[in-house]
């Protein structure tokens, strides 16, 4: 990954937030970047390749804070902090989630892109499932809980809150999202 690819993806990110993925043409991205389409196609063969790169960056921005949690954060609190990166509790996370959801909408009906989106979603699910397994090994949560199924349940919950925050005229306060997540976690803890 080159610095220029990152610059192009950040310009694409901004255009996606302003215009949506469908309107994020190479021309619009080049204009946002203050360059030519040729500069973009030097790094990305087409729009779909660029969009996959942007999706990789979104996935990284979600996984990095999950993986970078301090070892002092333990138990259910650790799982909660991992899931909180998928909640719209600050402007950066809200932006990440908007791009993630915009890409999901764009991928509908485009089988190859949907499969790629599903691969990245599986990475997030696997990270949560591994944490659940670790909590089971520490006897913090029941060994009867299926880690994969519970990871899907928890991700569906935070994804639902993220979508709700974007479709409501008045999203909830960040503290409320965290309180709702804590309630959900106490149901398994």
Q: Whole-model pTM?
A: 0.87
Token readout for 171 is: 């999203």
Residue 15 and residue 57: Cα distance in Å, rounded?
15
Which domains does the chain possess? 1-45 (1.10.10.60), 54-186 (1.10.357.10)
- Along the chain (189 residues), what's the average pLDDT of each consecutive run of 10 residues? 89 93 92 93 92 90 86 89 94 91 89 90 95 95 96 96 92 94 90
DSSP state of 2: -
């Amino acid at each position: 990954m080159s610095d220029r690819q990152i610059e192009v993806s950040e310009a694409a990110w901004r255009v996606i937030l302003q215009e949506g993925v469908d309107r994020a043409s190479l021309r619009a991205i080049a204009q946002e970047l203050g360059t030519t389409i040729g500069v973009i196609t030097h790094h990305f063969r087409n729009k779909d390749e660029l969009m996959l790169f942007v999706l990789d960056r979104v996935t990284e921005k979600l996984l990095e804070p999950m993986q970078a949690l301090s070892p002092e954060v333990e138990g259910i609190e650790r799982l909660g902090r991992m899931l909180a990166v998928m909640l719209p509790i600050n402007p950066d996370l809200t932006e990440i989630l908007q791009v993630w959801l915009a890409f999901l909408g764009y991928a509908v009906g485009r089988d190859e892109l949907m499969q790629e989106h599903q691969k990245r979603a599986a990475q997030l699910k696997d990270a949560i499932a591994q944490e659940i397994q670790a909590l089971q090994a520490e006897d913090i949560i029941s060994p009867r809980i299926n880690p994969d199924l519970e990871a899907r349940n928890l991700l569906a919950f935070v994804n639902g809150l993220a979508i709700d925050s974007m479709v409501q005229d008045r999203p909830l306060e960040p503290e409320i999202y965290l309180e709702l997540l804590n309630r959900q976690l106490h149901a398994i803890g």
